[in-house]
């Protein structure tokens, strides 16, 4: 189907079903229960982040997973996409489609320039160059191009770029009917519109913005599968495997790696445009180097070079970040109330550093555990489990057929 083989089609369909039913899957606990407070993730803001960061990491994986070039500046494209989209909302109108298109074009142009220079080097030097470019972009956005007093105020500095009632919005709708700021929409459907469904004590929220993002994520995922399975993808994997042999195979690798860099930059710009479309606000912190690091972490967490890994990694990271920052000392006391008081206080005292504002620490530990025990990321964990089951099954089959095939 759609030019994919059976295995890839199945994967695409599974991801599509997961995305479609995410409001159910992510809300397993009844509304109002203490478990729901902590572990339910089926609210629009978080679901949007799942799929948007999914897109970002899918794109990053096209570069890092296929060519092995580790970009440490991908957040720059995310930020550039965000600013472009907000400018589109300020100047043109509140429809998200032109905004998303502009964010892809602008980040693509930046990726072409940054990639052209950075790809002159490989390995660690490439990473450092991309990091330097990203920090340059960050500083431009934060101070140089963001001085509200100057006439070149493109980014509005540390306040961040916001909509205002004085914006032109030449396609109309500069001010909503109530006289407040208009909202982003997709041909009239407001991004923040939600439909709620109550079944028993469960409450499920279906958000228009989420479904738009999820649909775009599915297209992005489909394109990434096509790239992975194409001759172009094969060439990129060959570059990762042995650049030396590639150079002596009559092939100029530069256009291939540059194309991969630009595609991946466009993905990041698309993600940035979507972030702004969901909430029309763009700040320089999106381009900070820690944001670039987080993209790398999400990719490695999920499984570099695998198709589904980026989505898993992005979801895992966002979910745990969200939960861990919600847990605080009183919640811990509540959970551990069955213990003797002294012990309870001691354990809470230790765990205190890992939850709430200390969520970085827990996520860091989780990341280390995954890297040490599952170098191939969470996808490798899944593969190991499925192999365990499959081996049991084939052993049974082999016994029945009374002949065995040599083990690999």
Partner 1 sequence: MGILEVKNVNKRFGGLQALGDVNLSVQDQTVHAIIGPNGAGKSTLLNVLVGKLVPDTGSVMFDGQSVLGRKPFEINQMGISRVFQTPEIFGDLSVIENMMIPIFARRDGAFRLHAIEHTENEKEIIEQAEHMLESLNMADARHDHSAAMSRGNKRRLEIGMCLAQNPRLLLLDEPTAGMARADTNATIDLLKQIKEERDITIAIIEHDMHVVFSLAERITVLAQGTPLVEDTPDNIKGHPKVREAYLGESA
Which of 139, 383 has the CB closer to partner 1?
A: 383
- Asked if 69 and 290 count as a contact pair (C-beta separation under 8 A), the reply is no
User: Does residue number 3 form part of the binding site for partner 1 (CB under 8 A)?
Assistant: yes
Name the one range near partner 1 by CB under 8 A: 125-133, 170-178, 223-231, 340-348.
223-231
19 membership: H or E segment, kind and range: helix 6-20
CB of 8 to partner 1, least distance (A): 10
Which one among 252, 290, 337, 405 touches partner 1, defined by CB under 8 A?
A: 252
User: Does residue number 215 form part of the binding site for partner 1 (CB under 8 A)?
Assistant: no
Q: Within 10 A of 108 (CB to CB), how many other CB atoms are there? A: 20
Q: Residue 287: exposed, middle, or buried by beta-carbon count in 10 A (0-12, 13-18, 19+)? A: buried
User: Does residue number 233 form part of the binding site for partner 1 (CB under 8 A)?
Assistant: yes
Closest CA to 185 of 96, 274, 273: 96
Total binding residues toward partner 1, as defined by CB under 8 A: 32
CB of 388 to partner 1, least distance (A): 21
Contacts of 125 (CB under 8 A, 6+ apart): none
Which of 121, 240 has the CB closer to partner 1?
A: 240
**Region 287-306 residues binding partner 1, contact defined as CB under 8 A:** none
Q: Within 13 Å, how many C-alpha atoms sit on residue 63's CB side?
A: 35
User: Does residue number 256 form part of the binding site for partner 1 (CB under 8 A)?
Assistant: yes
- Asked if 277 and 103 count as a contact pair (C-beta separation under 8 A), the reply is no
Which of 198, 408 has the CB closer to partner 1?
A: 408
Contacts of 169 (CB under 8 A, 6+ apart): 89, 90, 91, 92, 93, 94, 182
Which one among 75, 238, 299, 300 touches partner 1, defined by CB under 8 A?
A: 238
Closest CA to 73 of 46, 39, 107, 36: 107
User: Does residue number 241 form part of the binding site for partner 1 (CB under 8 A)?
Assistant: yes
Which one among 150, 249, 386, 394 touches partner 1, defined by CB under 8 A?
A: 249
User: Does residue number 10 form part of the binding site for partner 1 (CB under 8 A)?
Assistant: no
Distance CA 374, CA 228 (A): 22
Which of 22, 263 has the CB closer to partner 1?
A: 263
User: Which residues of the shown chain bind partner 1 in the complex (CB under 8 A)?
Assistant: 3-5, 223, 226-227, 229-235, 237-238, 240-242, 244-253, 255-256, 259, 263
């Amino acid at each position: 189907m759609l030019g994919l083989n059976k295995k890839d089609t199945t994967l695409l369909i599974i991801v599509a079903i997961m995305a479609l039913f995410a409001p159910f899957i992510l809300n397993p606990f009844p509304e109002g229960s203490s478990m729901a407070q902590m572990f339910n993730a089926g609210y629009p803001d978080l679901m949007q982040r799942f799929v948007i960061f999914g897109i970002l990491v899918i794109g990053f994986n096209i570069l890092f997973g296929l060519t092995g070039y580790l970009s440490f500046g991908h957040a720059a494209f995310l930020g550039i996409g965000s600013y472009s989209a907000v400018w589109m909302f300020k100047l043109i109108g509140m429809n998200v489609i032109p905004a998303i298109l502009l964010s892809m074009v602008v980040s693509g142009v930046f990726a072409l320039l940054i990639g052209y220079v950075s790809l002159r080097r490989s390995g660690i030097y490439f990473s450092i160059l991309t990091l330097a470019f990203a920090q340059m972009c960050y500083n431009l956005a934060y101070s140089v191009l963001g001085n509200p007093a100057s006439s070149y105020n493109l980014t509005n500095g540390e306040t961040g770029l916001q909509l205002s009632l004085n914006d032109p919005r030449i396609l109309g709708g500069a001010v909503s009917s109530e006289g407040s700021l208009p909202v982003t929409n997709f041909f009239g459907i407001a991004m923040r519109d939600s439909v709620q469904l109550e079944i028993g004590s469960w409450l499920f929220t279906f958000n228009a913005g989420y479904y738009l993002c999820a649909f775009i994520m599915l297209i992005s995922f489909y394109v990434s599968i096509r790239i992975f399975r194409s001759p172009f993808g094969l060439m990129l994997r060959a570059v990762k495997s042995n650049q030396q042999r590639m150079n002596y195979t009559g092939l100029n690798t530069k256009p291939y790696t540059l194309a991969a860099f630009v595609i991946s930059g466009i993905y990041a710009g698309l993600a940035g445009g979507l972030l702004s479309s969901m909430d029309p606000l763009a700040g320089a912190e999106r381009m900070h180097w820690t944001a670039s690091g987080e993209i790398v972490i999400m990719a490695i967490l999920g499984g570099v070079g695998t198709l589904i890994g980026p989505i898993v990694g992005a979801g895992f990271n966002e979910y745990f970040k969200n939960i861990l920052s919600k847990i605080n000392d009183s919640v811990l006391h509540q959970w551990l109330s069955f213990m003797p008081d002294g012990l309870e206080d001691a354990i809470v005292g230790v765990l205190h550093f890992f939850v709430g504002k200390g969520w970085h620490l827990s996520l860091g530990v989780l990341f280390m555990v995954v890297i040490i025990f599952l170098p191939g990321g969470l996808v490798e964990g899944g593969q190991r489990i499925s192999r365990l089951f499959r081996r049991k099954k084939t052993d049974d089959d082999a016994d029945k057929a009374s002949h065995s095939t040599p083990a690999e």
